[in-house]
Amino acid sequence: KLTEEAGAEALELNLSCPHGMGEKGMGLACGQKPELVLNICKWVRAAIKIPFFAKMTPNITNIVEIAQAAKDGGADGVTATNTVSGLMSIRHDGSAWPSVGKNQFTTYGGVSGNAIRPIALRAVSAIARAFPGYPILATGGIDSADAGMQFLYAGASALQVCSAVQNQDFTLIDDYITGLQALLYLKSLDLDGWEGQSPPTPKQYKGKTILVKDLIGSKLPAFGEYKQQRDEITQKYLQEADILDEQFLPEQVRPARQSQKEVPRLVDVRGMAVNKMVEFKQLDPREPAVAIIDDDLCVNCGKCYMTCNDSGYQAIIFDPITHIPYITEDCTGCTLCTSVCPIIDCITMVPRTTVYEVKRGFSKQKVDENTSPLGPIKVSS
């Protein structure tokens, strides 16, 4: 009530602070119990007329349950999410960083920033799914306009930024505004293969649109004597070719200046990803994907082979001489190789075009009507 009388236009109830509040029966201790959140929100609603938002804790199993309590208590919206309780690191003398005093004691505190973005995105989207249209203030790892747009797609109504400001200063807000404007503008253009402000990854060799595989009809890795062969083949080709020919011009990836359709507003894109969030049982196993490696982008590092060999299904064969990886029929589409590949878009997931045979180390049996509760695996044409 005093805050409202002082001129505040809105309040945020920090019912989830992890910094010692739980020990005092405050902050985190309140935010983890739906009945306390419900009653606190009711008290605040009865005392003030200005809008207020209850800040959610991620340190709980079901954040939607807490959001429901805040909504039932009269909160105009929620903030998702607060920091994650954690311990940053431990030195080799047994003391933690950060530590306090001559005894170098520490305690568990709130971890924020990019590290918690996946948790925050999950929280925002889960609340948006449960309560369509309910105002959500998103926070947790919004370090760029692109990250901010992800939260808007997940159902956020507005964005809160703290760690990014601490890492730089308030001028980054200008970057966020112009970045969001650019992302909205790009949606009005007829673009193919763009991801936000990033154009499709060009296939080039030393900055040229010459692909050695196209010249000789076979693959050549980009190291050692093979690299020398690539250079010689390319050099010979350029000496004999007309370098002013259109095929040597860089691919036109920049968008046209004229919009092809109306530029959307932020409210138009809010929650556009929510209907893509489903329960695990709703994922269709009849539409499997497999990895495919782009030989023109591959640097023959072997990361894909290592992760698949030790943590996957041994579905990648790595040539010991040329270091060229090959994906076999054993690929299950786990995306481990995609996640460790250092080259953007070198490994992509595509629909499987053959019937998948399950191999679990016990017996070899084909997935059909008798073994799959959802019927035969879909075969793409």
For residue 74, give both structure tokens.
Answer: 């009269």
For residue 360, give both structure tokens.
Answer: 């679990």
Q: Are 175 and 145 in contact (CB under 8 A)?
A: yes
For residue 156, give both structure tokens.
Answer: 């956020």
* Dist. CA 162–CA 286, nearest whole Å: 43
Residue 291 sits at φ, ψ, to 5 deg, of -85, 150
Q: Which of 239, 203, 149 is nearest to 348 (CA)?
A: 203
- C-alpha torsion 310→355→296→236, nearest 10: 120
Helix (H, G, I), strand (E, B) or coil at 152: helix
* Dist. CA 92–CA 257, nearest whole Å: 57
Q: Which of 55, 65, 7, 1 is nearest to 33 (CA)?
A: 65
For every residue of 254-267, DSSP letters joined together read SPPSS-SSPPPPHH
Catalytic: 304? no
For residue 340, give both structure tokens.
Answer: 């460790």
Q: Say which of 17, 308, 334, 337 is annotated catalytic.
A: 17
Tell me whether strands 109-111 and 84-86 are parallel, antiparallel or unpaired: antiparallel
Which of the residues are catalytic? 17
